[in-house]
Amino acid sequence: MLDFAAARRMMVDGQVRTADVTDRRLLAAMLRLPRERFVPEGKEAVAYLDRDLAVGSSGGMGRYLLKPMVLAKLIQAAEIVESDSVLDVGCATGYSTALIAQLAARVIGLEEDETLAQFAAAALSAEAIGNAQVVLGPLIRGWPAQAPYDAIICEGATDMVPKALLDQLKEGGRLVCLFGRAPGAKAMLYRRIDGECSGRPLFDAAAPLLPGFVRPPEFVF
């Protein structure tokens, strides 16, 4: 039987620390949280591999957990502090929501696939994570009912600037996402300052697109 604690340590030491992730709270949270409990049955043995992990499909698109290194770098870039309210867009099975919950005051995990949302809620409950909630709705719309947020994290790629999500940031709020498609995709950080949002690239990274975040086809005359 796989030693999950050892696999977790290898993931953190071999994938995350080596990618310039230095946030001690985040590293400790990744060491504590059993990622194998947030993957579909039968995939526990691959929970700690350095790759995006398929967990289902919705809206005709495959759904994935981001590879640990990319997820860690995004969360670190969001600069989450203990008083923050965070929206986790595309939470899938809830691993990212559970991880963020160890850093923030409150986390809303937004999922539009009912099966994934139910899985995430059950996994969070099993881990006794009380400051996280899973809600069901279109990812592209965010969750305005509990906005504004200090930070928003997109658990997948987008083809377009997610304006509806940016509108749900507090003053000084941060949104991190993966923008574009391989090979030119990049992680982006957007920040709201004086009511306006501006973005800057962080590092090269790609992931599958989230449902609803695909740029509509352009008409050619």
Q: Are strands 196-204 and 169-179 parallel, antiparallel or unpaired?
A: unpaired
pLDDT in tens, 85-105: 999 999 999 999 999 999 999
Q: What is the mean pLDDT of the chain?
A: 95
Asked if residue 109 lies in contact with residue 132, where contact means CB atoms within 8 angstroms, the answer is yes
Model confidence band, residue 2 (pLDDT cutoffs 50, 70, 90): confident
Cis before 183 (ω within 30): yes
pLDDT in tens, 105-128: 999 999 999 999 999 999 999 999
Query: Domain spans of the chain?
Result: 4-204
Asked if residue 52 lies in contact with residue 43, where contact means CB atoms within 8 angstroms, the answer is no
Q: Is the pLDDT of residue 217 over 80?
A: no
Q: Is the pLDDT of residue 216 over 90?
A: no
Element (H, E) at 25: helix 24-32
Let me know if domain 4-204 sits in CATH 3.40.50.150: yes
User: So what's the pLDDT on residue 218?
Assistant: 62
